[in-house]
Homo-oligomer: A and B are copies of this chain.
């Protein structure tokens, strides 16, 4: 206590420390390497769980044209699965080319230049944020389908899940792939079993479905090409996340390229089978959108009934969707740190906190997702038109980058490889244009504005850092430091041991010391306190002159700052303002001291060439040995 130790952390700080855990060393952070099976939970949850909203997105669009249009879900799904196949083979090549992790940002920076890499970065930022919001909203939709009573609290449940995911990531849970294995397997195996049951029991249990069918009696539109394109682009939300394995190649066990490619293949196969299976069942059972119940929930209920199996699957889906949101938390903060190291984001984003995670990136992602979830009131379908544009922009850029890469390096069979990635780039570029055109008025304009705005922001930041770098002469050998005599200004309020202590410290720094005091004029214009203090000072005679500043206003800082500016203008000395403060022995007593030091330091912040310094004098007396101290 009397050694001036900072007080023990207060209640809130202690709770926070308990939540996120003690500080970690860099070497403490586990670097477990993963196998293809573990790769599914670690890197593919975003893609796999999109079966929870992709088919639904198609059906909702088609339902506008009435019940008969719902049959088109199957051909549209087949098209999407074909696109999936192209993407999977393209990304297997990305893995070959970038065994150190080929995110869209890295690939475009290496092959397409700064402009394209910024587009990729901005698109990825938008995409990561949307992935979190969409996954959590879809997870909560699965939950409220099973437990309709929770429907009213959708937004609150979304935010609670987001908060849990945020805290887990601030703890640093990035690599806990093994913990995610069980729910992922329950999800994959369970959903495949449900599809099989649905296919072999053509007249499955027809459980009564809650909710109201939302298929209009009279079709609102005829089945036009535009409607088909809209349904296709909505369904493409099921393909988001296919790129994640290529980004995460370094996380695999050796031979990592081989294992990563195998995982990509596994993901493609499972996702394709699921999408096709669900489309066949939706078609067979004439599943349309219903209020308060998701399409996936309807299919599960039709296949197995609303019994324990249905509830286990619903809870599992909620859980894996929350884990899918978690994978974005693995991605965005790392991307943010890369951008910060390249001077495109505030350097803050490249700093690890004491759990060795990039906390500013985690907080930013969490806040942005919370805003999105609140804005759409937790409704996943409102987010779908915004989704996929960012992802497909990233697809196009990495595939195009790969084409350039093959053309530059020309390995064996480079023409075939370039053609495959070229096909991927072309198809995804067309898809991106389709998304923007068909969904522009339904929300896609947000992304069309956000991505260029982000690019502008990133390049402005870059420009500022370049300027600072030049100003600071980074990379040059600077000249010799120049010294000059110092003049120390000590603000004092009264004659006391604090003033004595502060003047002692000031004399240690320089032989030129001035004490200054500010006297507030009272309502009658009297400044009697000033003369009083001058007399006390003369009686004390500490060997340092006292300068009294009178002011008519209530601010102490302003006259002091004006005085210091005057000194700067008339002296060639190095001005040092030394602010003495009393250091209470308990944190809770801080509130009893006027923090003039903070006010003054803030007021001096904008004044270059002035050293603003603070010295704390400890209060020595221990608490409690104050015999007369009962108030």
Contacts and interface: CB of A to CB of B under 8 A. Distances in A.
Given A505-B574, A544-B481, A583-B608, A553 B23 contact: yes
Given A26-B520, A26-B521, A470 B621 contact: yes
A270 B592 CA distance: 44
A250 to B, nearest CB: 12
Contacts of A415: none
A631 B458 contact: yes
A408 interface: no
Nearest to A461: B592
B505 A611 contact: yes
Contacts of A206: none
Given A26-B520, A351-B554, A466-B629, A346 B4 contact: no
B543 A467 contact: no
A523 B523 CA distance: 64
Interface string A555-598: 10000000000000000001010100011100001011110000
A85 to B, nearest CB: 37
Give the copy number. 2
Interface stretch (A239-247, A314-322, A366-374, A493-501): A493-501
Interface stretch (A99-107, A154-162, A257-265, A472-480): A472-480
A524 B28 CA distance: 10
A494 B478 CA distance: 11
A523 B31 contact: yes
A472 B496 contact: yes
Interface in A432-464: 458-464
A24 interface: yes
A24 to B, nearest CB: 7
A484 B467 CA distance: 42
Interface in A496-510: 496-510
Given A483-B508, A500-B481, A631-B460, A354 B471 contact: no
Contacts of A466: 626, 628-629
B353 A554 contact: yes
A478 B499 contact: yes
Contact of A504 (B471, B483, B620, B631): B483
A459 B509 contact: no
A509 B552 CA distance: 34
Contacts of A29: 523
A461 B591 CA distance: 10
Interface in A95-124: 114, 118
A26 B523 contact: yes
Contact of A481 (B470, B486, B501, B553): B501
A27 B460 CA distance: 48
A567 to B, nearest CB: 15
A411 interface: no
A105 to B, nearest CB: 15
A551 B54 CA distance: 48
A552 B472 contact: no
Interface string A411-428: 000000000000000000
A582 B540 CA distance: 40
A312 to B, nearest CB: 39
B630 A463 contact: yes
A613 interface: yes
Contact of A472 (B356, B497, B589): B497
Interface of A: 4-7, 23-27, 29, 31, 114, 118, 346-348, 351-356, 458-468, 470-474, 477-486, 494-510, 520-525, 539-540, 542-544, 552-555, 574, 576, 578, 582-584, 589, 591-594, 601, 605-621, 626, 628-631
21 contacts: A25-B521, A26-B523, A26-B525, A26-B552, A347-B594, A356-B554, A458-B631, A462-B631, A465-B592, A472-B497, A474-B496, A478-B497, A480-B543, A481-B506, A509-B574, A509-B576, A601-B614, A606-B616, A608-B617, A610-B616, A611-B614
Given A346-B591, A348-B591, A471-B497, 9 more contacts: A24-B554, A26-B553, A346-B592, A354-B553, A467-B626, A479-B500, A483-B508, A485-B508, A509-B510
